[in-house]
Homo-oligomer: A and B are copies of this chain.
Amino acid sequence: MAADRKKWILEAASKSFALFGYKATTMEQVAKIAGVGKGTIYTFFSTKEELFDAIMMDVIQEMKRIADKVIQEERTFIKKLERVLEEFYRFRSNHELLIRLSHEISEMGTAKAQEGMKSLEGAILGFLEKNVRTAMEQGEIRPCDPQVAAFVILKMYVSFVHDWDRTHGPLTKEQISEFFHVYLFEGLAVR
């Protein structure tokens, strides 16, 4: 049945991309893992790229479900923000495919892998932007451009967990929370 085959192909491809990365995954191999003929893959996906895109979309949907759940569990914007960022980071750090893609990007700079991770970042930014807008409309934060705010928030977070980590060692949740409080919420200006 066609619906089954598509599902097998998606599962097989997800496994192969996670194990071997984008570039080293062959369609022959995906077909073998899925237990179908290679040509069958092309009845559902025109190209290897389209297959990869479909899998990235699934990953992004999954990540969003987790983030939505976290949002329901917290009350204040700042708490929601911290939890969501933490969850995004954990998701990205534990997800086999995403780990593999990051590795492939730094080792080989594969364009498609970069594109995949960029779409993930775009989804995170979109999610943050939506929540900034809500918080702003509810008067929880001051008026601002939600898109820019989301950008600043994410870049700051990523800088702490990646760049600072590399030069000074890892930060605790409490330290990151404190930094967000001082530099993003209260600001540097003297009152």
A91 at the interface (CB under 8 A from B): no
Q: Please indicate the chain B residues that have their CB under 8 angstroms from the CB of A144 in the complex.
A: 182-183, 188
Q: Given contacts A151-B163, A155-B155, could you give 8 more A-B pairs where the C-beta distance is less than 8 Å?
A: A142-B187, A144-B183, A152-B156, A152-B159, A155-B156, A155-B163, A183-B184, A187-B187
A42 at the interface (CB under 8 A from B): no
A54 at the interface (CB under 8 A from B): no
Given A155-B156, A159-B155, decide whether A141 and B185 contact each other with a Cβ distance below 8 A. Answer: no
Q: Which of A129-166 contact B (CB under 8 A)?
A: 139-142, 144, 148-149, 151-152, 155-156, 159, 163-164
Q: Please indicate the chain B residues that have their CB under 8 angstroms from the CB of A159 in the complex.
A: 151-152, 155, 159
Q: Hey, what's the 0/1 contact readout for A164-191 against B, CB within 8 Å counting as 1?
A: 1000000000000001001111111110
A142 engages B179 (CB within 8 Å): no
A187 to B182, CA, bound (A): 9
Closest B residue, CB atoms, query A81? B188
Given A151-B159, A159-B151, decide whether A142 and B183 contact each other with a Cβ distance below 8 A. Answer: no
Q: Please indicate the chain B residues that have their CB under 8 angstroms from the CB of A186 in the complex.
A: 142, 187, 189
Closest B residue, CB atoms, query A147? B168
CB pairs A–B below 8 angstroms (6 shown): A140-B190, A151-B159, A155-B159, A156-B156, A159-B159, A186-B187
Q: Please indicate the chain B residues that have their CB under 8 angstroms from the CB of A187 in the complex.
A: 142, 183-189
Q: Please indicate the chain B residues that have their CB under 8 angstroms from the CB of A183 in the complex.
A: 144, 148-149, 152, 184, 187
Most B C-beta atoms less than 10 A away, residue of A144, A152, A182: A152
A22 to B139, CA, bound (A): 53
